Amino acid sequence: MSSKTSMQDIANLLGISKNAVSLALNHKAGVSEELRSRVFEAAQQLKYRTESKTRKKQNHLLVLFPEYIQNDKNFYYEVFWSIEKRAKENGYTAIISGVTKDMERLLILPDLYHEIAFSGILVIGVFNPAYVRKLKELETPIVTVDHCYDDLQLDSVVTANAEGACSIVSYLIRKGHRQIGFIGAGSMSKSFRERWFGFTNAMSDAGLAIDKTFCLIGSNKPEAPEDELASFMDTMSGLSVRPTAWFCANDRIAISLIQHLTAKGYHVPNVMSVVGFDDIEAAQMVRPRLTTMHVQREQLAFEAVDLLLRRIEKGGVPSKISIYGELIERDSCGKA
C-alpha cells in the first residue's frame, strides 16, 4: 500500500465515508457496483494499491465480451476456445468475463479486473465506443477482435469483410448471374456495411448495375427481421423481373431467405441462387446446403493473441490485421 495514500484520501475525493471505501475495496456487500467502480477508479488515480492476496502479477489476459453474444454457439464459441488455446501455448491464462448492458452503459469494469493484474485485454464483438474508450484509458494493452473502432486507433484483428464479399459476389458473376440482390442491414452493423461495400465493388468491377429494388439494406436492426424479410419477398413476387441470385450479409439471413423462397415455390438453386457469409454450422444442415464465405475464426483468435503478446512484450504502434475468408462451394448456387 502506498504510504502517501489512505482510504480516507479516497473517501475525501469522492465525498463518501471511509467505511464505504473499505467495503468497495474488499469486495463486500453494502455498496453499489457503480460506487465500487468509482472507488477503484479513485484508488487508481491516487496510486492506492491494495495488498489483496487474490491479485496476481503475471501472465493473465482478460477477455471481455458483450451480453448479446453470451449464448452464441454458432460463431463465437470457436473464437473463445481458440483464444484460450493460444494463450496457454504461450504461458498465459485467458480469463473470460461478460459485460452486461448496465455495466456497459454505466462504464463499470468487471470485478475480475480489480482482483487480478492483467497483462492485456482482448475485446470480442461490438461494444459501445464509450466503454472501449474507458478501457483504453486503463493504459493496458488492448486488441479488439472481429470489430474495430476507427476513431480510437486500437490494435484490431478483423475479418476481411469487403474483400470476402467481393470474392463471393464475383463467384456469382462467373456463374453467369447479372441481376444480383443483397439482403442485410447495412445501416446498423459495421461488418454488414463492409460486406455491402464489397458487393457494390464486385458489381462495379463487372460493369453491372445495382437495382436497389433487389436490395434490403435499410433496417435499423442488426439483422433483417422475419416480418421485414417476408414483406420484402412479397414485393419481389410482384415484380416482372427478379434477381437470379442473392448475396446475404450472413448465413442466418441466407438460411431464412432459402426457406422463404422455397415456401413461395422458387427452387434453390435452379431458379434462384443464394450465398451467405460466416459458414456457421447450420449452413451445412439447411437444404440445399449453403454456399458461403468461411470466416477463419481460429485464425482470428490466434492472430489476436499473438498481436496482444507482442504489444505486452515489445510495445509498438496500433495496427489492424485483416484475415481473408475462404469460399465454400456447396449446393445453393447454380449457373444463371
Q: What is the DSSP string of 124-177?
A: ES---HHHHHHHHHTTS-EEEES---TTT--EEEEE-HHHHHHHHHHHHHHTT-
Q: What are the pLDDT digits (tens) for 143-193?
A: 999 999 999 999 999 999 999 999 999 999 999 999 999 998 645 578 999
Q: Do 169 and 117 lie in a common domain?
A: no
* Of 73 and 28, the one with more pLDDT: 28
Residue 277 falls inside a structural domain: yes
Model confidence at 24: pLDDT above 90: no
Residues 109 and 181 in one domain: no
Is the domain of 143 the same as that of 260?
no
Q: Are residues 25 and 77 in the same domain?
A: no
Task: Round to whole Å and give the CA distance between 135 and 46.
Answer: 18
**Do 168 and 285 share a domain, yes or no?**
yes
* CA dist., res. 179 & res. 173, Å (int): 9
Q: For residue 53, what pLDDT is reported?
A: 40
How high is the pLDDT of residue 225?
60
Asked, for residue 257, whether it belongs to a domain, the answer is: yes
Q: Give domain status of residue 53, yes or no.
A: no
Q: Are 95 and 116 in contact (CB under 8 A)?
A: yes
Residue 284 belongs to a domain: yes
List Cα–Cα distances, 211 to 216, 225, 230, in angstroms. 11, 22, 19
CATH number of the domain enclosing 27? 1.10.260
Evaluate if residue 64 carries a pLDDT over 60. yes
Question: Could you tell me if 123 and 183 lie in one domain?
Answer: no
DSSP state of 290: P
CATH of the domain at 242: 3.40.50.2300
pLDDT given at position 120? 97
41 shares a domain with 78: no
Note whether 165 and 261 are same-domain residues: yes
Residue 330 in any domain: the answer is: no
- Domain assignment of residue 67, yes or no: yes
Mean pLDDT of 33-38: 85
Q: 3-state class of 82 per DSSP?
A: helix
**CA pair distance 254, 291, nearest whole angstrom:** 10
Q: What angle do CA 265, 74, 96 make, to 5 degrees?
A: 160
Q: Is residue 332 domain-resident?
A: no
> Do both 152 and 279 map to the same domain?
no
| Strands laid side by side in the 320-323 sheet | 93-99, 60-66, 120-124, 142-145, 155-159, 320-323
The range of the structural domain enclosing residue 18 comes to: 7-45
Residues 290 and 302 in one domain: no
Residues 133 and 168 reside in one and the same domain:
no
93 domain residue, yes or no: yes
pLDDT in tens, 48-57: 765 444 444 4
Q: Confidence band (pLDDT; 50, 70, 90) for 200?
A: very high
Q: Do 18 and 64 share a domain, yes or no? A: no
What pTM was estimated for this model as a whole?
0.80
Q: What total of structural domains would you count in the chain?
A: 3
Instruction: Give which of 150, 157, 86, 189 is closest to 304, Cα–Cα.
Output: 157
In this structure, what are the phi and psi dihedrals at residue 322, rounded to the nearest 5 degrees? -105, 130
**Which helix (H) or strand (E) segment is 323 a member of?**
strand 320-323
In angstroms, the CA 225 to CA 207 distance is 31
